Amino acid sequence: MRYVIMGTGGVGGFFGAKLAAAGEDVWFVARGKHLDAMKEHGLKVTSTVGTFTIPPEKVTGNPAAIGDADVVLFCVKAYDTEVAARQISPLLHEDSIVLSLQNGVDNAEKIRQQLRRGLAYAGAAYISVRITAPGEITESGGFQRIVFGPTSGPTVSRASDIHAGFLRASIKCDLHDNIEKELWRKFIFIASMGALTALSRLTHGEILSNPKSLSLMFDAMREIQSIAWKLGIDVEPVDETKVLEGLKRFDPDTRSSMYFDLASGRPMEIEALNGTVVRFGEQLGIPTPIHRVIYASLLPHHLKHVQQRTSM
């Protein structure tokens, strides 16, 4: 199968490199300085499971130049979803699968609305990885795991082929028939802990070591949990012990992608995360005071960076 990594940031770059190292036909789509560096020197991925190098000839800034795609790992920032989906739509045939590994709970539906052929699947990637320099990606620990599945209807055979391909590439992976539950599980975590690292500028370890910060994180999680239950998503109650066990698997210096976007003067996924929580809360009559503070505090930074980006 031919894989296309749409958005070669940390997540797409790491999992794409693992697939390529296993012998799969993988193309990497990027832009800006990251693309320029990759076209000259290729992509270097440094991780806790080894170092991978992708040659420049497998990198492009133009998806149309790739040809047909059997699988697209869709890893662009949530605010670029519709534009990027339109770019990859001509590459797809009837059996193609576009697998969203983005942050948020509604990206697959946004992708589906832009496609002429193929299927849109939703997935959750559990990993701590980011671009550390143009053309370089660093993974620093965590789960290195993908969970994916259809948002509606039965699982097609191509999805089983993708699952098998991930396993051959030594990627921990589960194919679920109830992916909505998994999306909301991750959403509860990243929209709470991830956003708090951006708002507070604290690392995972610093938040864990302060009882007041830790309590705030759990309360933020429970706000989203209440929304999920109201929507009929059967997520488990927030288990503080299990959450702490999971967090301890990450490097204590870990910060979220939202923090790094804020610190680097880039747009953030604030609308897809905390903005979504606030909007659901308003629609359902569920108070979300913590997420309202996060959203109102970070939104002006996001809008400023969006304006700078569009004026360039």
The pLDDT, as a whole number, for residue 259 is 95
Does residue 278 contact residue 292 with C-beta atoms inside 8 Å?
Answer: yes
The pLDDT, as a whole number, for residue 143 is 79
Q: List CB contacts of 127: < 8 A, sequence separation 6 or more.
A: 10, 11, 14, 139, 142, 143, 144, 145
CATH of the domain at 42: 3.40.50.720
Same domain, 216 and 258: yes
Residue type at position 49: V
Same domain, 146 and 80: yes
Q: List CB contacts of 161: < 8 A, sequence separation 6 or more.
A: 1
Does residue 180 contact residue 186 with C-beta atoms inside 8 Å?
Answer: no
Q: pLDDT in tens for each of the 312 residues of the chain?
A: 999 999 999 999 999 999 999 999 999 999 999 999 999 999 999 999 889 999 999 999 999 999 999 999 999 999 999 999 999 999 999 999 999 999 999 999 999 999 999 999 999 999 999 999 999 999 987 679 999 999 888 889 999 999 999 999 999 999 998 899 999 999 999 999 999 999 999 999 999 999 999 999 999 999 999 999 999 999 999 999 999 988 888 889 999 999 999 999 999 999 999 999 999 999 999 999 999 999 999 999 999 988 877 665
Beta partners for residue 72, in sequence order: 4, 98
Same domain, 123 and 268: no
Same domain, 166 and 185: no
Distances (CA, A) of 21 to 63, 126, 219, 301: 21, 20, 42, 39
Q: Look at residues 14, 48, 300, 231 and name the one whose alpha carbon lies nearest to residue 136.
A: 14
Domain of residue 37, residue span: 2-177
Same domain, 86 and 154: yes
Same domain, 185 and 307: yes
The pLDDT, as a whole number, for residue 250 is 84
Same domain, 42 and 191: no
Find the distance separating the first CA and the last CA of the chain, reported in whole Å: 38
Same domain, 158 and 36: yes
Domain end marker among 134, 155, 177: 177
Same domain, 205 and 162: no
CATH of the domain at 287: 1.10.1040.10
Domain end marker among 145, 177, 209: 177
Domain end marker among 122, 152, 177: 177
Domain count, the chain: 2
Same domain, 35 and 154: yes
Same domain, 61 and 171: yes
Q: pTM for the full model?
A: 0.94
The pLDDT, as a whole number, for residue 142 is 64
Beta partners for residue 17, in sequence order: none
Give the whole-angstrom CA distance, residue 51 versus residue 42: 13
Same domain, 230 and 166: no
The pLDDT, as a whole number, for residue 312 is 56
